[in-house]
Amino acid sequence: MSQFILPYFVVQGNGQKQPIASMPGIYRFSIDKLLEDIDPVVAQGLDKILLFGLPREKDELGTEAFADDGIVQQAVKVIKDHFPQLIVMTDVCLCAYTTQGHCGVMTNDKCQMSNDGVTIDSEATLEALARIAVSHARAGAAYVAPSAMMRGQVRAIRKALDDNSYQQVKIMAYSAKFASSFYGPFREAMNCSPAFGDRRGYQLDPRDSQAALERIRIEIDEGADMVMVKPALAYLDIVFQAKQLFNKPVAAYNVSGEYVLLHGQPTLIKEAIIAIQRAGADYIITYHAKEFI
């Protein structure tokens, strides 16, 4: 079993392998091209991928995120047909699917700016996240990975999965997800920058390690099978503490901005990955994964 998890960006269409300007060496693939790319890495021993989908169209409620023929749902089905052993993990969020580019739903009367960001309708968002998770499970995902930082997201998803007889589907919770500038290149890749405001209203304050550890504890209580710290390199103290304090596998997400900093410098990449391992991460989500399997 590999410690590495490779993220993939998947788009609609055929024959697409679109270079991402902000992330050299990384592409958005249509499903057919994605299969071609996965084939050799699976042969080398990669056993886990994390899928992000770019919808054909965005709308206010992010409906393509939970459509059974949505891009991620289609991709999971085809990937599982071709690589039945591969553990497919799916990002569960709304920001790539909503026109406002936030990780949650805003109803008109609640769509107000607050000082530190925006106000999100948490009830509608939890309902949407649960629907997304169930649709991914139906397609064949082994893990769903809620990344919206909505309070109660793990509980809502666990309940929806259980109610729909997906008890075996696990949750990798983005529990300690900081409001980070290291996500910049990813937002260009996914076309998911907020149309207004920022994500500080729901992502964690980089100065507040206690809040991060508390959120991890809460999401484990709610039913997370694996917890994540994100970004990785700038937050190794949190990875270390999460590993010491809790009895759950910890994943560290070596994010897009960290990828770009080290891209093309194999010795630096190796040393950085060793640092993440030394901090205690059980799993490492990284765009460099192909270099380590």
CB of 12 to ligand PBG, least distance (A): 19
What DSSP letter does each residue of 96-148 carry, written as one string? TTBTT--SS---GGG--EETTEE---HHHHHHHHHHHHHHHHHHT-SEEEE-S
Size of the site for ligand PBG (CB under 6 A): 11
Q: Which is nearer to ligand PBG, 87 or 234 (CB)?
A: 234
Residue 57's CB: how many other CB atoms inside 10 A? 9
User: With CB under 6 A as the contact rule, which of the stretches 33-41, 74-82, 117-125, 182-190 interacts with ligand PBG?
Assistant: 182-190
Asked whether position 215 contacts ligand PBG by CB under 6 A, the answer is no
Asked whether position 90 contacts ligand PBG by CB under 6 A, the answer is no
Cα 65 from chain centroid?
Answer: 13
Q: Which is nearer to ligand PBG, 64 or 91 (CB)?
A: 91
Q: Which is nearer to ligand PBG, 83 or 202 (CB)?
A: 202
User: What is d(CA 284, CA 239) in angstroms, rounded to the nearest whole number?
Assistant: 11
Active site residue 80: no
* 253 is known to lie in a ligand binding site: no
Q: Which residues contact 212 (CB under 8 A, 6 or more apart)?
A: 175, 176, 178, 204, 229, 235, 238
Q: Which is nearer to ligand PBG, 77 or 199 (CB)?
A: 199
Residue 10 near residue 36, CB atoms below 8 Å? no
For 87, phi then psi, to 5°, come to: -85, 110
Residue 198's CB: how many other CB atoms inside 10 A? 14
x/- binding map, residues 186-205, to ligand PBG, per CB under 6 A?
xx-----------x------
Asked whether position 147 contacts ligand PBG by CB under 6 A, the answer is yes
State which of residues 6, 255, 260, 276 lies at the interface with ligand PBG (CB under 6 A): 255
Q: Which amino acid is at 73?
A: Q
User: With CB under 6 A as the contact rule, which of the stretches 35-43, 62-70, 87-95, 242-250 interacts with ligand PBG?
Assistant: 87-95
Among 48, 170, 177, 248, the one annotated catalytic: 177
Tokens standing for 222? 């709610």
Active site residue 230: yes
Asked whether position 95 contacts ligand PBG by CB under 6 A, the answer is yes
User: What is d(CA 112, CA 119) in angstroms, rounded to the nearest whole number?
Assistant: 6
Q: Which amino acid is at 143?
A: Y
CB of 59 to ligand PBG, least distance (A): 17
Among 48, 170, 230, 248, the one annotated catalytic: 230
Residues labelled as active-site residues: 177, 230
> Where along the sequence are the contacts to ligand PBG (CB under 6 A)?
91, 93, 95, 103, 147, 183, 186-187, 199, 255-256
